[in-house]
Structure formats: C-alpha cells, structure tokens
Amino acid sequence: MSNTAKLPHQKELFGHPVGLYVLFFTEMWERFSYYGMRSILVIYMIAQASDKNGPGLGWTELEAYQLYGWYVMLVYLISIPGGILADKVLGQKKTVMLGAVLLSIGHGVLAVEQDWAFFTGLGFIIIGVGCLKPNISTMVGGLYKKGDIRRDKGFSIFYIGINLGSLLATSFIGLVVAKWGWHAGFGLAGIAMILGLLVYIWGQKYITHVGNKMSLEDKKSDVSIGELFNNIFKSPVHLGIMTVLIIISLYFGYTKEGVDHWGYGALFVFLSLVIGLLMMIYKDLDSKIMKDRFLVLLLSFLLVIVFWGAFEQAGGLMSVYTEQKTDRMLFGMLIPTPMFQGLNAGFIILLAVWVANIWAKRKLKNKEASSLFKMATGTIIMGLGFVFMILAVREYEANGSSGMQWLILAYLFHTIGELSSSPVSLSFVTKLAPAKYASLMMGLYFAATGLGGKVAGILGEKSAEFGEYTIFTGIVVFTVIFGLIVIALLKPLKRLTHGAEDNEVEMHNNEAEGFELADN
C-alpha cells in the first residue's frame, strides 16, 4: 500500500470527492436564500398596508405575476453572460465567488424597508445567481472523470443539497415573517447567503483542480465570443436570419400591449442574438458527432422550458391559491403559506434515493433509462400533479375552500417528476456540451429554466382571464402530450448523441454487481 498522502483535492468522503460536499453546502445556503425569498415574494407584493405581517407593496395579482415571471426568467437568463464570464475571463471558481458576494449584498439590501431597496436588491440577486448557478453546477461535473458512473449520483447528492436549503428556508422564513414581518424574512435569507460564501471560501483547497481560468494553451485554440459574432457578418445566410429575427422581435415586442412591452422587445432581441451565437458555435464545432450532440442538447432545452413553465407555478399561481383559497388550519394552528412550498424539498430528501434506485435498476436490467427518457417521463409525472389542483379548484367552487391534501398530492407528483428529470438534465449537459463551451451551455440550460419561469408568470397572468381550472387543465394536457412526443422520437434522438451515455452503461453493467445507489 502506498504511503503517499493524498492532496486535499484528492480526498474522498463516502465514495465522492470532498469538493462535492463543499459545493453541496455552498449551494445549500445559496438555495436557502433564493427559495426563502421566492416563497414570500409574490404574497409580499400583493399584501396591503394592513396585512398582518406588515405593509406589503399593495400590488394587484396581475402586476405581481408579471414581476414574478420577469424575475424568475432574468435570474436564470443572466446565466448566459455568467457562463461566458467564467469561460472567457475569470474561470468558474472565481465567478462563483463573485456571484456569492453579489447575492449577499442583494439579500442584505432587500431587508431595508424602502421601495428602492426592493428593486435594487432584486437586481443584485439576478446578477449574483447568473454568476453562481451555472458555474457551480459545471464544477460538480468537473469533479468526475469522463465515464465515471458516480457522476449522476454526485449530481443527485448535490441536488439534495439544493433541496435541503429550500426545505430549511420554507420551514423557517414563513415563521420569521409571521412573527417579525416581511423584511425580517428577507434579512434571514441574506444571513444564509453569507454562510454559503464562508463555506465556499473555507473549502477552496478541496476544489483547486476544477473551475480554473482557461490556460494560455487552451486560449490559443479557443474561439472568442466576439469572434463568433464577427463571423456572422461573414456569412450572408446567418446574418440574414439574425437580422430578420431582430426586426420581428422589435416589431412584436414594441407593438405588444401592456406596461412591460419594452421588456418583451428587449427579451426577443436578446434571444435573437443568442440564436446567432448558437449558429456560430454550431459552425465552429469540428466534427459531425459534436454537431449532432449539440443539436440534441438544444432540443433537450425545450423539455426544460416546458417542465419549469409548469413547475414554477409553485411560487406564483399555486402560492396565491394556497394563501387565499386553501384551508390551512391544522390542530388549531394556521400553517404559513411558504411552508407548503417546503413540501417539494421535503419530498425530495425523502424520495431522492428511492427514485434514483428505480432508474438504476432499470439501467442494470438494460431497460430504457436514457437521460432524455427520464426527462420526458419526469415532465409527464410532474404535469399529472396538476390533476390534484384541478380537484382542489372544484372543491373550492363547491365549498368555498379546498383541503390541504390536494396541495400535498400535487407537490408529491411534482417532486417525483423533478427527481426523474432535473438532476439528470444537469448531468446530461456536462456529458454532451463541447468542452470549451461547457459553462456557456450550462448557462443556456439555466436560461431555459428561466424562460420556463417566464412562461409560469404568463400562465399566472392568464388565470385572471381564463380561471385557475382552465390553466391547470391546460398544463396537464400539454405536459403529457409533449412528454409522449419526446418518447416517440427517442430512438432518432439517441442516435444523434452518438453513444454519449453508452460507455457509462457498459461500465455500470461491468462494475455494478451488488452495487446499491442508496447511501449506506
């Protein structure tokens, strides 16, 4: 046996690099701050001056849904420049540090009881999440060598950290708000983010080998973002496509009715530029295999948008429904609305290993268990959770209130769907993304998540016009049909991955005799 001592970044704990647990606890506290603030954001905006938790902003539900949609979208859309900043300038590790600092400032500013502080704090949080979120996830993938069967499990463990933070936040922030008011809740979220920053600083020695700034040798062979955009002007076809998209975006955005028409115009122009960037990245890839995988990755982002467009109702329409139309009395006590959002995180912690084991056993039996299949199946299961919200609406219409059991069942299905889809989609990006665009592609993944959040906000706005019953029914129908279409197209889509997951399956079959995914 060798007596050579392992360096800090080579050490393992429970079969995984110690760096995984550094990133686990950093993300846990970051998610505490994010989900804690998210759990009270909409109900704070619609709260009146006479609210029992102190004066809110007094906005209408329509205004609250609009801002919620823009906020959730921008939080993740900024992941694109956040990924570019990491890939081209700072490296992932330093960009995560910058994001943690900005988040600490943003949550601290939100604790100030002024309107300017509300918007300024949200601005800092948007930029901070954009810097931190895509890059810390990419660093998790970097902890494992190519083909390492522990990678998916590592992401599942990391995902438990995300949801442990969410569970703690939704359990405590609602109680804090009930006792000390809205801004005390925002302040607690800020304290949590500072804890995450301290954990990250302490654990630097365990992640020295991942997330570093690009070497000079890599930079010589790298294509800059500016060069990619410059190449658009050298291609009449690509330039023509992007010009048409920008013109359509400006026309549609600035002729749209509503106070936020300018926002839509800016969003569509931004997305047109992103499409131009993606065309140039595709052109820059030097093999058919990489190009095919790139296309599959972009198609998988459509699944991400659909999934989160439905799932993010938790912080919007479902949150308001819980606050206004659900009987929340239990043993003579009123349960704070944010605690219901904690059901998702609690179920994840309870069911994560069980769901992972189901998929692992399917893989060992050579049954279909590809990432795309899991994502499509997860979308269907999550969508079926809204069947219980339909039943809740029918009970409310009949009795004037609905029982908590419908929310519990809805969140249960949402959780099983999320566990089947979300951790796998994170891992899928790290498997298929071109190495030199790894952070950028992770940024695009989170941008797709953000667009899903914007869809969720739009659906919330439409509930005033069409009613909750119609919105929930529409979500069920669309998610199920969309998921089934992806499953029907699974074989050609898997061919385009060119066996990106085949080696992993082979290693799994060769090495997994007696292997159990559960943490023993």
Contact 311, 418 (CB under 8 A): yes
- Classify residue 231: in a domain, yes or no: no
Give 477's contacts (C-beta < 8 A, 6+ positions apart). Answer: none
- Please tell me the total count of domains within the chain: 1
- Find the helix packing angle between 115-142 and 92-110, rounded to 10°: 150
Contact 158, 23 (CB under 8 A): yes
- Classify residue 339: in a domain, yes or no: yes
Characterise 366 by phi-psi region: left (phi > 0), alpha (psi -120 to 50), beta (else).
left
Distances (CA, A) of 201 to 25, 97, 179, 327: 12, 8, 33, 44
| pLDDT of residue 480 exceeding 90 | yes
CA angle 180, 317, 137 (to 5 degrees): 80
Mean pLDDT of 206-226: 67
| pLDDT of residue 508 exceeding 60 | no
Question: Which two structure tokens, joined as six digits, stand for 502?
Answer: 């085949």
- Which residue in this structure is represented by tokens 């049909």? 481
Cβ burial, residue 64 (10 Å; 0-12/13-18/19+)? buried
**Which of 147-151, 247-251, 352-356 has the lowest average pLDDT?**
147-151
Question: Which two structure tokens, joined as six digits, stand for 486?
Answer: 């992806």
Confidence (pLDDT) at 108:
87
- Give tens-digit pLDDT for 22-72: 999 999 998 888 888 888 888 888 887 777 777 788 888 888 888 888 888
Please report, for the domain that includes residue 63, its CATH number: 1.20.1250.20
Instruction: Identify the residue with better confidence: 256 or 161.
Output: 161
- Which residue in this structure is represented by tokens 């899928």? 428
Confidence (pLDDT) at 172:
86
Confidence (pLDDT) at 43:
84
Q: Does the model's pTM come out above 0.85?
A: no
**Which of 80-84, 253-257, 363-367 has the lowest average pLDDT?**
253-257
- Classify residue 1: in a domain, yes or no: no
Confidence (pLDDT) at 222:
55
3-class DSSP state of 333: strand
Query: Mean pLDDT, the chain, as a whole number?
Result: 81
Amino acid at 301: F
HSE value, Cβ hemisphere, 13 Å, CA-based, for 291: 9
CA separation for the pair 264, 506 (Å, rounded):
47
Confidence (pLDDT) at 510:
39
Band of residue 214 on the pLDDT scale cut at 50, 70, 90: low
Confidence (pLDDT) at 140:
86
- Classify residue 2: in a domain, yes or no: no
**3-state secondary structure string across 60-129:** CHHHHHHHHHHHHHHHHHCHHHHHHHHHHHHCHHHHHHHHHHHHHHHHHHHCCCCHHHHHHHHHHHHHHH
CA separation for the pair 407, 189 (Å, rounded):
25
- Which residue in this structure is represented by tokens 């505490």? 32
- Taking alpha carbons only, the member of 210, 200, 87, 204 closest to residue 145 is 210
- Give tens-digit pLDDT for 96-110: 999 999 999 998 888
- Give tens-digit pLDDT for 403-461: 899 999 999 999 999 988 877 887 788 788 877 777 677 778 878 888 888 888 888 88
Distances (CA, A) of 109 to 112, 140, 200: 6, 30, 22
Q: Calculate what percentage of the chain has a pLDDT beyond 70.
A: 89
Q: Calculate what percentage of the chain has a pLDDT beyond 90.
A: 17
**Which of 119-133, 259-273, 281-295, 469-483 has the lowest average pLDDT?**
259-273
- Residue 218, H or E segment: helix 216-221
Partner residues linked to 330 by β-bridges:
333
Cβ burial, residue 107 (10 Å; 0-12/13-18/19+)? buried
Question: Which two structure tokens, joined as six digits, stand for 239?
Answer: 């330039």
CA separation for the pair 518, 19 (Å, rounded):
20
3-class DSSP state of 326: strand
- Which residue in this structure is represented by tokens 């399917």? 362
Cβ burial, residue 89 (10 Å; 0-12/13-18/19+)? exposed
| CA 147 from centroid of its chain's CA atoms | 24
- Classify residue 235: in a domain, yes or no: no
- Classify residue 253: in a domain, yes or no: no
CA separation for the pair 377, 374 (Å, rounded):
5
- Residue 438, H or E segment: helix 438-466
- Which residue in this structure is represented by tokens 């030097």? 286
Partner residues linked to 329 by β-bridges:
334
Contact 158, 140 (CB under 8 A): yes
The backbone torsions φ and ψ at residue 327, rounded to the nearest 5 degrees and listed phi first, read -75, 105
| CA 320 from centroid of its chain's CA atoms | 21
For 159, the domain range is: 11-211+285-511
- Classify residue 134: in a domain, yes or no: yes
| pLDDT of residue 250 exceeding 60 | yes
- Taking alpha carbons only, the member of 422, 345, 436, 394 closest to residue 160 is 345
- Taking alpha carbons only, the member of 399, 234, 252, 411 closest to residue 318 is 411
- Give tens-digit pLDDT for 135-191: 887 888 788 877 677 777 787 788 778 878 888 888 888 888 888 888 888 888 888
- Give tens-digit pLDDT for 290-338: 888 888 888 888 899 999 999 988 877 888 888 888 888 888 888 888 8
- Which residue in this structure is represented by tokens 């823009």? 70
Contact 317, 460 (CB under 8 A): yes
Give 112's contacts (C-beta < 8 A, 6+ positions apart). Answer: 121, 183
- Classify residue 258: in a domain, yes or no: no
